[in-house]
Structure 1
Amino acid sequence: MAMVRRTKEEAQITRSQILEAAEQAFYERGVARTTLADIATLAGVTRGAIYWHFNNKADLVQAMLDSLQEPLDEMAQASQSEDEEDPLGCMRNLLIHLFHELALDPKTRRINEILFHKCEFTDEMCDFRRQRQDNAIQCHDRITLGLSNAVRQGQLPQELDTGR
């Protein structure tokens, strides 16, 4: 049992090393100009180790995005609950947290810079682009739901069209 746990821990460490190396390489060269061999060299692993954890570069970029997205998802869910008494306050707290992370956390800043300025949408990134588009639609729907809850709680005018 201890060997299995150690192996899982080692696999998690390797995965983290790969993600850190990918972040560094993507930030320096852009996604399109970075190869998995570049990432493997930076991480001190083989390309096989990368393929053990990730299907391709798009999967690596998605994992970096997920690392930022997961904490925000929890915060966003509060404003979407019909039971939430202060949906606008929840939305405000989420935005403050997001801007705080962007301003003070270099890793968050780097990943956002990669996503918005260094992620060329080549053929190999087609699935990732579709996922980003789906995420944008989900984000819009979440904002709409949060605003609708704010209308229901009397925080916003009843005549506000939240579906725009």
Structure 2
Amino acid sequence: MARKTKEDAQKSRDQILDAAEHVFYRKGFTLTTMTDIAEHASLSRGAVYGHYKGKLEVATAMAERVIQCASPFQIQAHLSALSNLKHYCLQEIHSYIAPSSIQRVLFFLYVGIDDSPELLQLRFAWEKKRIAQIDSLLKQAIAQKELPAEVDFELISLYCKSIIEGVFSIIYFGNLSASERWQRAEQLCEYGLQRLSLKL
């Protein structure tokens, strides 16, 4: 029997993690078994265990792969900081809703992990990246005088995070058609961010 090359081993790992995305997304962490993952990957249980000790290790590798490969937000130099912030919020909402690897993994991390401490750390790592991007754009908005220098920075950062999560909830769980979703998402993000620049 020919020995497996590094390329063969990587192909098998990718096959396992691709399958895990779909199984964990559908069943959550607790109900998923290594047999489920093996069957979806069209591999034997032994082949899966040859790469991963158990489903926690599979779930961790699956989530880390997607989070590390997620496309960074591209700032558009011709737009204001708050306009870029709106586009960033929409990109985040799109990540949670549009079918893709990132959508399946994020849904799993927010809905399907059953408070596993190890997987919670991956969710927190994703949120840390999100907050860092929001804060960077808010600092630019202050520097460009779109927002007053004396604004409560911690509060508006939390407010922007709540816009993303609130719009996501309305779009994902609301009774909207596919064509209405993005129109409403853009309207809600724009309206919410406009409140930042109003003098109270």
Q: Structure 2 length normalisation: TM-score?
A: 0.58
Which residue in 2 is equivalent to 1:145? 136
Cα deviation 1:120-149 (Å, max 9, x = unaligned): 12xxx3222133234434533442232122
Provide the alpha-carbon RMSD of the alignment. Answer: 3.5
Which is worse superposed, 22-31 or 83-92? 83-92
Which residue in 2 is equivalent to 1:155? 146
| Uncovered stretches (5+) of structure 2, i.e. residues with no partner | 156-200
Matched, 1:97 2:66: no
Which residue in 1 is equivalent to 2:36? 38
C-alpha distance in structure 2 between counterparts of 1:135 and 1:104, whole Å: 18
Matched, 1:119 2:113: yes
Q: Structure 1 length normalisation: TM-score?
A: 0.68
C-alpha distance in structure 2 between counterparts of 1:97 and 1:139, whole Å: 11
Which residue in 1 is equivalent to 2:172? none
Which residue in 2 is equivalent to 1:22? 20
1:15–1:53 CA contact under 8 A, matched in 2:
yes
1:75–1:90 CA contact under 8 A, matched in 2:
no
C-alpha distance in structure 1 between counterparts of 2:57 and 2:73, whole Å: 24
C-alpha distance in structure 1 between counterparts of 2:53 and 2:63, whole Å: 15
- Offset of 1:26 from its aligned partner? 1.5
Pair 74,104 (structure 1): closer, same or farther in 2 beyond 3 Å: closer
C-alpha distance in structure 1 between counterparts of 2:102 and 2:89, whole Å: 14
Cα deviation 1:47-81 (Å, max 9, x = unaligned): 454355445433433344345434556217x59xx
- Offset of 1:93 from its aligned partner? 2.6
C-alpha distance in structure 1 between counterparts of 2:130 and 2:25, whole Å: 25
Which residue in 1 is equivalent to 2:120? 129
Pair 138,20 (structure 1): closer, same or farther in 2 beyond 3 Å: closer
Pair 48,152 (structure 1): closer, same or farther in 2 beyond 3 Å: farther
1:25–1:38 CA contact under 8 A, matched in 2:
yes
Pair 28,139 (structure 1): closer, same or farther in 2 beyond 3 Å: closer
Pair 114,138 (structure 1): closer, same or farther in 2 beyond 3 Å: closer
Aligned residue runs from structure 1 range 27-106, under 5 A? 27-51=25-49, 53-54=51-52, 56-70=54-68, 72=70, 74-75=72-73, 86-106=80-100
